[in-house]
Amino acid sequence: MKIKNLIFCCVLGVMLMSCATKQSAINQLEYFSYELRDNSRNYDVEDWQKAGKKFVKIRKNINKHELDFTAGEKEKIGRLEGNCARYMAKGVKDGFFDKLQNIGSEIKGILDGILSLD
């Protein structure tokens, strides 16, 4: 009887560890989406590179448990990934327009300098 209890406890422990690990993968993605939501407006190029690497790392962790996720968990993962993609795309777009405005200001300065040489 003691051997059955020991085997049961071991199997239960492995199952709980697996469940906790797959849930931690979802939690990592969720916290990352909150991080992007709250901080991405202030990201520079280096921050975006770090964010990209972090996203890849989280995705690899999620892929390890891909077969273990329920349909509801997969839906949540998809929604969170969509949020992350939206924040990343917005950051790229905003960064592009900021650079474009800076270039426009530089060109305006150059033209003002040229025209004032008279």
- Please tell me the distance from the alpha carbon of residue 81 to that of residue 77, in angstroms, as a whole number: 6
The pTM assigned to this predicted structure is 0.65
- Residue 16's pLDDT is 44
Please report whether residue 5 resides in a domain: no
95-104 average pLDDT score: 61
User: Which amino acid belongs to residue 95?
Assistant: G
Please report whether residue 30 resides in a domain: yes
Q: In the predicted model, is pLDDT for residue 73 greater than 90?
A: yes
- Residue 98's pLDDT is 64
**How many percent of the chain have pLDDT more than 70?**
63
Please report whether residue 95 resides in a domain: yes
Q: How many distinct structural domains can be found in the chain?
A: 1
- Please tell me the distance from the alpha carbon of residue 54 to that of residue 40, in angstroms, as a whole number: 14
Q: In the predicted model, is pLDDT for residue 109 greater than 50?
A: yes
Please report whether residue 44 resides in a domain: yes
Q: What is the mean pLDDT of the chain?
A: 77
At residue 69, the 3 state secondary structure works out as: coil
Q: Which domain holds residue 101?
A: 22-115
- Please tell me the distance from the alpha carbon of residue 109 to that of residue 112, in angstroms, as a whole number: 5
Please report whether residue 106 resides in a domain: yes
